[in-house]
Chains A and B, each alone.
Chain A
Amino acid sequence: MLKINNLHASVEDKSILKGINLEVKAGEVHAIMGPNGSGKSTLASVIAGKEEYEVTDGNILLYGEDIEELAAEERAHKGVFLSFQYPVEIPGVSVTNFIKTAINANRKAKGLEDMPAKDMLKMIREKSELLEIDRKFLSRSLNQGFSGGEKKRNEIFQMAMLEPKLAILDETDSGLDIDALRIVANGVNKLKSKDNAVILITHYQRLLDYIKPDFVHVLYNGRIVKSGTAALAHELEEKGYDWIKEEVNA
């Protein structure tokens, strides 16, 4: 599904990603861990197509197609979803209105008519129940005055509504209490299928207790320096990142 080859990227001439190689197949869950400033969020933004980031070398293939020239919305239309670490506020635009606009924009890109209101309502009801979202929440302005937990739950709600092929969850666990974490993880697990894939970007092993990764990668200084199974995450939890840094720098 996703194949990243020797990806180099920089922002404002500062080189951040220095040769990433990663392959994600349908049905897989990959966790990307690493210390602060290692390039995790940059990788997520580059895949999603944020303009400030410039790919200086290598490429990203989605279903075999190089997506370098595609705008962020075109990547979204192809099934890329990013759950933001810091979701933005859009005052006056309700959660419902926003998701309706997004769904219809994606349908339009596929040459489909707007989703009938009845279907939309039904889907919103189903997915909000899945994430234990209160009906009143849906009429609030997007992310405005939301608690950290509400913001993340809203991100996963949008993911549930948009049914992406590739979901990248950027530190979705940060700022969540244990109940919210359980709800969010539960939502993600229910949405997982053999046709889609998930990349979890996280600092902590905690989330991986709930969403079981098939692979764990350690990102350090713009490169994936170690890959393994879920056991690697436990090792990191126990020993921290220093031993990896030492290994790399040795």
Chain B
Amino acid sequence: MSKYTEDDLREELKTKEYEYGFFTDIESETFPIGLNEDIVRAISKKKDEPQWMTDWRLEAFKVWKEMEEPDWANVNYTKPDFQAIAYYSAPVAVDPNKTLDDVDPDLLAMYKKLGISVDEQKKMNNVAMDIVVDSVSVATTFKKTLAEKGIIFMPISEAIQEHPELVRKYIGTIVPTTDNFYAALNSAVFSDGSFCYIPKGVKCPMELSTYFRINQGGTGQFERTLLVADEGSYVSYLEGCTAPSRDENQLHAAVVELIALDDAEIKYSTVQNWYPGNDKGVGGVYNFVTKRGLCEKNAKISWTQVETGSAVTWKYPSCILKGDNSVGEFYSIAVTNNYQQADTGTKMIHLGKNTKSTIISKGISAGKSQNSYRGLVHVSARAENARNFSQCDSLLMGNACGAHTFPYIEAKNKTAQIEHEATTSKIGEDQIFYCNQRGIDTEKAIALIVNGFSKDVLNKLPMEFAVEAQKLLEISLEGSVG
């Protein structure tokens, strides 16, 4: 029988104290600010997670404490004080007394421009629905169809409860907790996110979208997404929303992991429109995202992103082409206006034989913004006949913005074929006058030119998303030419 030491007593008291604190805390909407092991435990406990998940979070937290915030990106901002942030907020509940009249009129005007329906606007602002709307029944139908195919699509917090074996098997295998500062932070404190599993040989019959489960609870600032496509399956996944998100959380650090097993294909499309700050550069979201996918044999992952929001963006959706004949694609449009800064690109890691990757990056800078493409193409010694094609185009508007390209190439196999093309152009007064002369006003002319410039990437988006993304580009650049 071991002796009950004073140390043990102290430990127990601490835990008790903490548990007590914890229970009072869950009465409130938000945890106290700051981050320590107790907060990590509390988040896990709040979600009723199994022990392995709690341990995993704690391990990540331990790693994170030893890490430093990266500063190699071409962005400038005041580093957040990580002890001044509250790491858990309960999802905002529907307020039965709130109507659309209570919503910021600017926001409503923007919805109108984007052609977003009134019901969707209500959902996005947590306004109660007066009637049972179509979208609710649509969601139910969706769920039924998905269930029939054996597809699992749910918040990751539910998946941890209902499919722990799947989550445990895959979480952190592509983006390990030790990967980088923000990934470690996310692993420790992630609030929620999506989990998706497509069984062997199943072609998902519809675009999966986080958007249609928007009223199942907000996902918050530390979002975690895990998507597994089993052998021979196919899925197209849409993330985000073209509507502006005026999130008050300044720091966003999401992690997305994709796993495409043999012969599987994942198409992952994102529209990011977080609050970019005002035209003086005040406010706005810091978006530090780690997205990575793994391709097994003959698998394919396509990342398509339209980035128009956030004050600072740090994001490199990547592909590990592990299996022979696997394919990675990255199509990106990044728009920066006013004082926005974006450092975004991709990593294509060729490990398997005959692996292929394509990178098309379109950067559009206006105002006083800075827009950087940063990409790595790595061909390992065993990757025979790897091929990459990269094209990075920058479009500048005005004289006060900047466009930068940082392509890194590491080829360790002589059979590799790597092509890189880059262009920089400016919207010329001659182009604008030409459009004007045909009766097209300047704002519309810019939209036309920008859409033309972005076409190769817009074409990769699912149809309904592409139309909205096109409008979003126009709105993001409104007023950028005097």
Contact A98 B448 (CB under 8 A): yes
| Nearest 7 Cβ contacts at the A-B interface | A92-B452, A93-B452, A72-B436, A76-B439, A102-B438, A92-B455, A106-B439
A-chain residues with CB within 8 Å of residue B438 when the two chains form the complex:
76, 98, 102, 105, 158, 162
Interface flags for B447-459 (1: CB within 8 Å of A; 0: not) read 0110111111000
Interface flags for B119-131 (1: CB within 8 Å of A; 0: not) read 0000000000000
On whether A101 and B444 interact (CB within 8 A), knowing A84-B434, A93-B452, the answer reads: yes
CA gap between A91 and B437 in the complex, in Å? 18
B408 at the interface (CB under 8 A from A): no
On whether A105 and B431 interact (CB within 8 A), knowing A91-B453, A92-B452, the answer reads: no
A48 at the interface (CB under 8 A from B): yes
Starting from the known contacts A49-B436, A88-B434, 6 additional A-B residue pairs (CB-CB under 8 Å) come to A51-B429, A71-B441, A101-B440, A101-B448, A106-B439, A142-B452
In the assembled complex, the CB of B241 is this many whole angstroms from the nearest CB of chain A, namely 25
CA gap between A48 and B442 in the complex, in Å? 15
CA gap between A48 and B436 in the complex, in Å? 9
Contact A90 B430 (CB under 8 A): no
Interface residues of A in 21-78 (CB under 8 A from B): 48-52, 71-73, 76-77
Contact B452 A72 (CB under 8 A): no
CA gap between A50 and B437 in the complex, in Å? 9
Interface size on B, residues (CB 8 A): 23
Contact B433 A90 (CB under 8 A): no
B115 at the interface (CB under 8 A from A): no
Q: Chain A interface: which size bin?
A: 20 to 34
CA gap between A158 and B437 in the complex, in Å? 11
Contact B439 A77 (CB under 8 A): yes
Interface residues of A in 81-111 (CB under 8 A from B): 81-82, 84, 87-88, 90-93, 97-98, 101-102, 105-106, 109
Majority SS at the chain B contact face: helix
A-chain residues with CB within 8 Å of residue B442 when the two chains form the complex:
73
A–B Cβ pairs within 8 angstroms, 13 of them: A52-B429, A71-B441, A73-B440, A82-B437, A87-B434, A88-B434, A92-B454, A93-B449, A93-B452, A101-B444, A102-B435, A102-B438, A102-B439
Contact B433 A92 (CB under 8 A): no
Contact B439 A162 (CB under 8 A): yes
In the assembled complex, the CB of A51 is this many whole angstroms from the nearest CB of chain B, namely 7
On whether A71 and B436 interact (CB within 8 A), knowing A92-B454, A141-B452, the answer reads: yes
B201 at the interface (CB under 8 A from A): no
B428 at the interface (CB under 8 A from A): yes
Majority SS at the chain A contact face: mixed
Contact A51 B444 (CB under 8 A): no
In the assembled complex, the CB of A155 is this many whole angstroms from the nearest CB of chain B, namely 10
B interface vs A, CB < 8 Å?
428-431, 433-442, 444, 448-449, 451-456
Interface residues of A in 116-173 (CB under 8 A from B): 141-142, 158, 162
A-chain residues with CB within 8 Å of residue B433 when the two chains form the complex:
50-51, 72
A92 (CB) vs chain B CBs: closest residue: B452
A99 (CB) vs chain B CBs: closest residue: B438
CA gap between A93 and B452 in the complex, in Å? 5
A-chain residues with CB within 8 Å of residue B454 when the two chains form the complex:
92
CA gap between A84 and B449 in the complex, in Å? 18
Contact B444 A105 (CB under 8 A): yes
A84 (CB) vs chain B CBs: closest residue: B434
A-chain residues with CB within 8 Å of residue B430 when the two chains form the complex:
88
Contact B434 A76 (CB under 8 A): no
CA gap between A52 and B432 in the complex, in Å? 13
A50 (CB) vs chain B CBs: closest residue: B433
CA gap between A51 and B437 in the complex, in Å? 11
B455 (CB) vs chain A CBs: closest residue: A92
CA gap between A71 and B428 in the complex, in Å? 17
B-chain residues with CB within 8 Å of residue A97 when the two chains form the complex:
448, 452
A-chain residues with CB within 8 Å of residue B435 when the two chains form the complex:
90, 102
In the assembled complex, the CB of B359 is this many whole angstroms from the nearest CB of chain A, namely 18
In the assembled complex, the CB of A13 is this many whole angstroms from the nearest CB of chain B, namely 18
CA gap between A76 and B428 in the complex, in Å? 20
Contact B428 A73 (CB under 8 A): no
CA gap between A50 and B435 in the complex, in Å? 11
CA gap between A76 and B440 in the complex, in Å? 9
B-chain residues with CB within 8 Å of residue A105 when the two chains form the complex:
438-441, 444
Q: Which of B433, B444, B453, B454 counts the most chain A CB atoms within 10 A?
A: B433
B456 (CB) vs chain A CBs: closest residue: A92
Contact of B448 among A50, A52, A90 (CB under 8 A): A90
CA gap between A93 and B453 in the complex, in Å? 8
B-chain residues with CB within 8 Å of residue A49 when the two chains form the complex:
436-437
On whether A93 and B448 interact (CB within 8 A), knowing A50-B433, A84-B434, A88-B434, the answer reads: yes
B-chain residues with CB within 8 Å of residue A48 when the two chains form the complex:
437
In the assembled complex, the CB of B76 is this many whole angstroms from the nearest CB of chain A, namely 31
In the assembled complex, the CB of B450 is this many whole angstroms from the nearest CB of chain A, namely 9
B-chain residues with CB within 8 Å of residue A52 when the two chains form the complex:
429
A-chain residues with CB within 8 Å of residue B431 when the two chains form the complex:
88, 90
B-chain residues with CB within 8 Å of residue A51 when the two chains form the complex:
429, 433
Contact A76 B448 (CB under 8 A): no
B428 (CB) vs chain A CBs: closest residue: A88
Q: Which of B434, B439, B448, B456 counts the most chain A CB atoms within 10 A?
A: B439
CA gap between A88 and B426 in the complex, in Å? 13
On whether A90 and B452 interact (CB within 8 A), knowing A50-B433, A51-B433, A72-B433, the answer reads: yes
Contact of B439 among A50, A91, A109 (CB under 8 A): A109
